[in-house]
Every structure is written in structure tokens, then in C-alpha cells.
Structure 1
Amino acid sequence: MLKVVQLLDLIDSDEMPDEELKKLLFTFECKTVLGEESDVQYFLREKAVQFDKMALSRTYLVFSSYHDKPYICGYFSITIKSLIIPKRVFAKLSNSLKHRLMGMGQKTEQANYECKGYLIGQLGKNYSETAKTAGMISGDDLLELAYDKIRESHRMVGGRVLHLECDDIPKLKDFYSRNGFVELENYESKNGLRLFVKTMDKVLKHS
């Protein structure tokens, strides 16, 4: 059975000193295809606590159990962040996507297009030996848990679009496309990442 725990609750808890929390976060392992530390692993270990304390994002740990002992099987990080689409990229979108994204959007002072919404900053599975032995959570399940938290926020503050950036890796891009995200093909971030978007009406349909 999966249990979602907000990182901020652990930070504020008197029952988990900083060193114990750090040790817990370091049980999460996720390498790149080249065997290097991934951004997903680095964020959880080195930045997540600071980001939560500064209210820059909210991180949620997903726990399962193996031999009656809880372990982190995955996590996700979300924040409220507007989607900014450069004018040159927006011009090449299909008319239907333009309408869904910007029906209530607006132009910025730089003539870019802005749409209020949410960002999935991080989403990843634990590839530690414990997690692999116990049976890893699926990416679909992890994404659905993230949707649950985004829906809760949407009921309170609204928002029209969900977006995320990911590495230009076919398997990763196929995963998000299969889950209803649309890649903005003419967009590339400063870090060489690809942008995927999904309108909130489609996220809400799964609730």
C-alpha cells in the first residue's frame, strides 16, 4: 500500500532530527544512463528541504513497505508557476492547442504568452536495491499521485495548465506523451530540456 507524506511535515516534526531526515533522503537512488547522479536524485538529497523551507515548491515522498519496513519508492515536487511560451513558439502551435492553453491567458510585456498553472519540477522512482527487490512503483502510479495533489490545489486557486521539462530522451518523452502531455516541439530551455504541457481540464477528468 502506498502512502504519500509531505516533506514539510517531516521537516517540522520533532520526531525526525535533521540528520535522520538527511539519511532518509539519501536512501533514494536514481542514476543517469551514464551512471552519474541524476537531477532527480540531486534535488531530493540536496535541494528539496531548502526549497520547502523557502516555499519555492512542495515535495511529496511516496512510501511503500518491504518486510514491514517503510521505504521511499518515489517522490514528486510541484509548484504554482505560470507557463511562458515565446511568441515564435506559440505561433507554430495548432489552433486548437492555442485555444486550450490561452483561452484565458495573456501576453507579457515582451509579447510572450503566459498561462497560469502548475509545474511538476521533479518526478522520479527509487532505483535502490530495496526498491527494486520490493517491486518498483510504476511511473503511471507516481504521476497519478502527483495529479491528486494538483487537483487539491486547483480546487482552491484554479489554473489552466500543467507543465514540466524533461531530458531529450525518447523513452522519457514517450512516457509523458502516453500520459496525455503534448510536447512543444519548437521549445528548448536554456538547459536543453524539452517542454511538455497538459491542460487542466484533462487532468481533472481523471479525478
Structure 2
Amino acid sequence: MEKIGKSRTCSIFDENSDRFNILAYFTIAIQVLKIPEEMISGRQAMLLDGFSSKIKGVKITEFPSILIGQLGKNENFVDAISGSEVMEYCLATILEGQTLLGGRIVILECKNIPHLFDLYEMFGFNLLEKDYADSELVQMFKILSETEIIQSDEEK
């Protein structure tokens, strides 16, 4: 995916070690969040779009998004970095790209595991409400706030 330009994978490594130890990684990509028309209200469409719920009278059901495609820690250094720290690096990288490209929705898919939900909810992600099959990954989303998107010159 990296070679064909569909995603970018970033590594987090231990700068204090003489060896090149990758502690964690994350992959980000551009993705379209598609929600079936019958599963989205006009209010939800407007919330996700940020501007309107319809285009030429047709409800908006597809939203440009930034996908966190993978996020993980190296099992050999599991105590060297926390999941929160990996998310902080990931979101900082997303916000760097967002300043150049735009975008306001960040999405991810994860297993239906409580500690993963807790981690992602701590960073402002919400479960995308829909019917999921038992083994299906669930989708979570975060709408970047105006303060995250727009930075003053002093903050840059």
C-alpha cells in the first residue's frame, strides 16, 4: 500500500537506544466513510459534513475521512510505550497532514474489546452506530474540533 501511495506507515522508535528499536507503528490513509442512507439522519449527515446534509436535494452519505488503518506496539518492547502515547503520535501526524490537506473526520476500525474502546474514547472517538456482525470490526470516528483544525501562527 505504501508503494502505490494508498497509505503511509510511521514508526516510533527508541531515540535513547544505541540500537534501532521500533517500539510501535501506525498507518494512515485517505478513506471515504460510507453510511447507508437508511442509517443516517439529516442531522447526522450535517454533523459529519460540517456544512450541509444534502447536495442538490440528495442526502449526503459519503464523507472524506482520514483512516487510522493500523496501530500497534512491538511485542518485544510492550512496556516501553503506552497505547495513549502511540495515539498521541498518530493524531499529531494526522493534524500535521490536515493543516496542508484539510479533512475533519478521523476513522478507525477495531475489535469489539472494551480496553480498545476506552483508549479510543479517551481521544474523542465515538462508535459509529450500525448493525455489526459478531466477528466484524467496529468503526469509530472522531470529528476534529475547530481548535484542532485551525491553529494560530503562535501555535504552529
TM-score, normalised on structure 1?
0.62
Which residue does the alignment assign to 2:97? 153
Which residue does the alignment assign to 1:9? none
Letter of the 2:148 counterpart: L
The 1-side partners of 2:39 and 2:132 are apart by 10
Which residue does the alignment assign to 2:69? 121
The 1-side partners of 2:54 and 2:18 are apart by 53
The 1-side partners of 2:59 and 2:139 are apart by 19
The 2-side partners of 1:67 and 1:73 are apart by 11
Is the Cα contact below 8 Å between 2:45 and 2:60 reproduced in 1? no
Letter of the 1:196 counterpart: M
1:69/1:172 Cα in 2 relative to 1: closer, same or farther (>3 Å)?
A: same
Query: Which secondary structure state, in structure 2, belongs to the residue aligned with residue 137 of structure 1?
Result: coil
The 2-side partners of 1:190 and 1:58 are apart by 30
User: Any residues of structure 2 matched to 1:106-185 within 5 Å, and which?
Assistant: 113-128=61-76, 131-132=77-78, 135-185=79-129
Which residue does the alignment assign to 1:102? 49
Which residue does the alignment assign to 1:16? none
User: Any residues of structure 2 matched to 1:50-65 within 5 Å, and which?
Assistant: 51-64=1-14
Cα deviation, 1:70-103, whole Å, max 9, x if unaligned, reads 2010000001112111223223x9x4x5433122
List gaps (5 residues or longer) in structure 2: none
Is the Cα contact below 8 Å between 2:45 and 2:61 reproduced in 1? no
The 2-side partners of 1:203 and 1:191 are apart by 36
The 1-side partners of 2:147 and 2:106 are apart by 8
Is the Cα contact below 8 Å between 1:106 and 1:114 reproduced in 2? no
Is the Cα contact below 8 Å between 1:84 and 1:112 reproduced in 2? no
| Structure 1 consecutive aligned stretches of length 4 or more whose deviation exceeds 4 Å | 105-108
List gaps (5 residues or longer) in structure 1: 1-50
Letter of the 2:50 counterpart: G
1:112/1:52 Cα in 2 relative to 1: closer, same or farther (>3 Å)?
A: same
Note the aligned Cα RMSD (angstroms). 3.0
1:86/1:203 Cα in 2 relative to 1: closer, same or farther (>3 Å)?
A: farther
Percent sequence identity is 33
Query: Which secondary structure state, in structure 1, belongs to the residue aligned with residue 2 of structure 2?
Result: helix
Report how far residue 111 of structure 1 moved: 5.9
TM-score, normalised on structure 2?
0.80
1:157/1:70 Cα in 2 relative to 1: closer, same or farther (>3 Å)?
A: same
User: Any residues of structure 2 matched to 1:32-47 within 5 Å, and which?
Assistant: none
Report how far residue 54 of structure 1 moved: 0.8
The 2-side partners of 1:172 and 1:90 are apart by 25
More helix per residue: 1 or 2?
Answer: 1
1:199/1:188 Cα in 2 relative to 1: closer, same or farther (>3 Å)?
A: same
Between 71-80 and 82-91, the greater mean CA deviation after superposition = 82-91
